[in-house]
């Protein structure tokens, strides 16, 4: 089984976010980038298939050369090879088109991606990719087993879970549950050294114009001032809620 894991290069969740050029561009200065957390869950599941079923695992990213450390980390975790499509990830459809070309050229059976990236939270690439390829697609996946050409998939739905049987080739939009957080892997020294020798190919993008563009970003409003009332001063609390906050 040939598995392709789609990797997004995203800011660490603890990063302080700022914008430049009149709030039209993301400011990368001082920002630490990591593997998208949802992608890390599916990468860990791919490693299970490699170890238990002998699958080969390729990771792919659409981005410029600054994204390569993130791909190298995926190689250090255990992926066999990496591909970087040499283009800025301008919008979801553009990314899906580039990934589709990689899938076609690599003849992959199973494509794993996080359900969304934590930077733009578009949640559109896995579904678009499946649509372009005409592959089966399951989103919000929290369980995955493969036996030959058949996959048993558990996905999260409102109020519960749904178990599905489907055939390969298949695109998965995964999340926490496909593996547990405690099962995520930290590269060890041996993995880091081996990653330096593993192939990282750079391919040029197919010609395709992005269909959308980001015009402006806006931060959430700062939290308002907080008044603390003594726990025993119920009268003052009621007075403020009634006359100042006007909620009662």
Q: List, for residues 132-158, the tens digit of each pLDDT value.
A: 999 999 999 999 999 999 999 999 999
Q: In this model, does residue 102 exceed pLDDT 90?
A: yes
Q: How many helices (H) and strands (E) does the chain have?
A: 6, 13
Q: Which residues contact 156 (CB under 8 A, 6 or more apart)?
A: 140, 142, 175, 177
Q: How far apart are CA 85 and CA 244, in angstroms?
A: 56
Domains, the chain: 2-219 (3.40.50.620)
Q: What is the pLDDT of residues 178-194, one digit of tens each?
A: 999 999 998 899 999 99
| Percentage of residues in the chain having pLDDT higher than 70 | 100
State both tokens at 116.
């969304």
């Amino acid at each position: 089984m040939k598995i392709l894991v789609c990797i997004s290069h995203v800011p660490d969740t603890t990063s302080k976010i700022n914008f430049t050029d009149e709030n039209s561009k993301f400011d990368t200065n001082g920002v630490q980038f990591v593997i998208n957390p949802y992608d890390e869950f599916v990468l860990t599941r791919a490693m299970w298939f490699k170890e238990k079923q002998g699958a080969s695992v390729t990771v792919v990213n659409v981005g410029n050369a600054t994204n390569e450390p993130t791909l190298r980390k995926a190689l250090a975790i255990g992926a066999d090879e990496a591909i970087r499509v040499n283009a800025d990830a301008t919008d979801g459809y553009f990314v899906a088109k580039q990934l589709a070309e990689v899938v076609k050229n690599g003849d992959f059976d199973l494509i794993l991606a996080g359900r969304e990236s934590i930077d733009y939270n578009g949640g559109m690439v896995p579904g678009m990719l499946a649509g372009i390829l005409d592959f089966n697609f399951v989103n919000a996946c929290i369980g995955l087993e493969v036996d030959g050409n058949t996959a048993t998939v558990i996905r999260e739905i409102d109020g519960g879970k749904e178990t599905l049987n489907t055939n390969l080739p298949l695109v998965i939009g995964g999340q926490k549950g496909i593996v547990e957080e405690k099962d995520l892997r930290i590269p060890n020294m041996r993995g880091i050294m081996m990653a330096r020798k593993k192939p990282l190919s750079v391919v040029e993008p197919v010609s395709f114009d992005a269909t959308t563009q980001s015009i402006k970003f806006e931060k959430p409003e700062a939290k308002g001032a907080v008044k603390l009332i003594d726990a025993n001063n119920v009268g003052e609390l009621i007075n403020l809620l009634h006359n100042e906050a006007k909620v009662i």
